[in-house]
Amino acid sequence: MKITDLKCAIIGKNPVVRITTDQGIDGIGAGEEAKSYLKPHVLFYKDMILGEDPRDVERVMNRVRRMGAFKPWGTAVSAIEVALWDIAGKAAGQPIYRLLGGKVRDKVRVYNGSVRKHLDSYSPEDMAANMKWMKDQPQKFSIIKQGIAFHGQMATRIPDFYYGEVVTGTRHPNRGPMTERGLKHTIACVEAMKDVLGDEVGLALDVGPGVIPQDALKLAKALEHLNLMWLEDMITGDYTPYVLADLYRDVTMRTSTPIHTGEQIYLRQNFVDLIEKRAVAVVGPDPMDVGGIAELKWIAEYADLHGIQMAPHGTGDGVIGLAALVQVCATLPQNYIAFEYPTGNPDWWYDIIEGLPPKDKIVKDSYIDVWDTPGLGIKFNVDAAKKYLREEDADFFDD
């Protein structure tokens, strides 16, 4: 079997990869909905993989893996990797999880990072009301994540939240020491949300990047009594092209609140410091940024050897990313907590992808049952999907 083409189309907002072969089997992968600009980056790899056997996933990946980088520049490589596994599974007549060593679990726990509505304000009262809305959703999520401080608009909309110039219009650019007012406001919001959840639902918090190490420690210690699931990406993280493991370690070793990072990190090599120094309690690579699903599995296993938990990121990965997460998370060791549940955006994604359970039955009591169909277990309804293709992508489904 040989690869005959690598295609990329922006469907909705997601960059979607399709790899075709000379035996009529194709594979799909996709990146986050926020990365519609990545089509040229995907096609950059085309001449590197044409003529290769897609079932030799690692051999093909060795040709392209070194040509990626931290989020968002690992997405193209990651989507290609997922598409290769999709082909390998279809060719073998097996779900991807069997090719990765088989299932550890028959259903995978997910946490909520994407089923949400707009926050009216960043007051404790409104954040508590928003949390109640998420708690009441039919998926009955056992863990809910919310953005606070420098993740989202709290730091820019609460007056005198931190010492520093407020920058707007780019991705999470703000950083600086929190004022006493800012720190107290953050704590009050967390306490209000936790009052809603009680001990029935775990609360995880996306906090940065942008928190200085001293404030990260202050906040983590001030919240110890709330038994949070984790504080995520405080010092570095989303769209940050470095790790700073030593700074994370200094916080982690001095608090009982679990510290989490990893969604922006590309490749296993860039997790070595975090894991070997035990700089965090939880790592959260995104399979569509880290280099793919096999890369995520390797990181999970190495983290497990060091007593570190795994909670993969995935909020914007769409329904193709959802399928990839289900397959790989079924195989992860027992340090697995839950993955961040991605949804289709726009909602018509559920009309153009076949193989998923009905939208309102995908998640039941915070779990997704692992399906057994070959490859990713999903495919496009081509006739339904074609009407959403842009003019320049009209040949996406042609062989």
Residue with the two structure tokens 């999907």: 385
Tell whether 398 is covered by a domain: no
Structural domain boundaries, residue 319: 98-375
Are 171 and 300 in the same domain? yes
The answer on 385 and 309 residing in a single domain is no
Asked if residue 399 is part of any domain, the answer here is: no
If asked whether residues 136 and 254 sit together in one domain, one would say: yes
**CATH number of the domain within which 17 lies:** 3.30.390.10
- What length does the chain have? 399
CATH number at residue 104: 3.20.20.120
**Three-state secondary structure call for residue 271:** helix
Query: pLDDT (tens digit, 9 = 90+) per residue, 363-373?
Result: 999 999 999 99
Tens of pLDDT along the chain (399 residues) come to 999 999 999 999 999 999 999 999 999 999 999 999 999 999 999 999 999 999 999 999 999 999 999 999 999 999 999 999 999 999 999 999 999 999 999 999 999 999 999 998 999 999 999 999 999 999 999 999 999 999 999 999 999 999 988 887 777 689 999 999 999 999 999 999 999 999 999 999 999 999 999 999 999 999 999 999 999 999 999 999 999 999 999 999 999 999 999 999 999 999 999 999 999 999 999 999 999 999 999 999 999 999 999 999 999 999 999 999 999 999 999 999 999 999 999 999 999 999 999 999 999 999 999 999 999 999 999 999 999 999 999 999 998
**pLDDT digit string (tens) for 284-313?**
999 999 999 999 999 999 999 999 999 999
Q: How far apart are CA 126 and CA 107, in angstroms?
A: 34
Please tell me the total count of domains within the chain. 2
| Same domain flag for 237 and 146 | yes
Do residues 172 and 276 share a domain?
Answer: yes
> Same domain, yes or no, for 266 and 133?
yes
Question: Can you list the alpha helix ranges (DSSP code H) found in 306-381?
Answer: 318-329, 349-352
Place of tokens 């076949």: 354
Mean pLDDT of the chain: 97
pLDDT at 276 (0 to 100) = 98
Residue 83 and residue 19 in contact, taking contact as beta carbons nearer than 8 Å: yes
Q: Do the strands 379-380 and 353-354 form a parallel or antiparallel pair, or are they unpaired?
A: antiparallel
The reply to whether 179 and 226 lie within a common domain is yes
Distance CA 148, CA 153 (A): 8
My answer on whether 364 and 389 are in the same domain is no
Distance of alpha carbon 192 from alpha carbon 32, whole angstroms: 31
What is d(CA 167, CA 146) in angstroms, rounded to the nearest whole number? 22
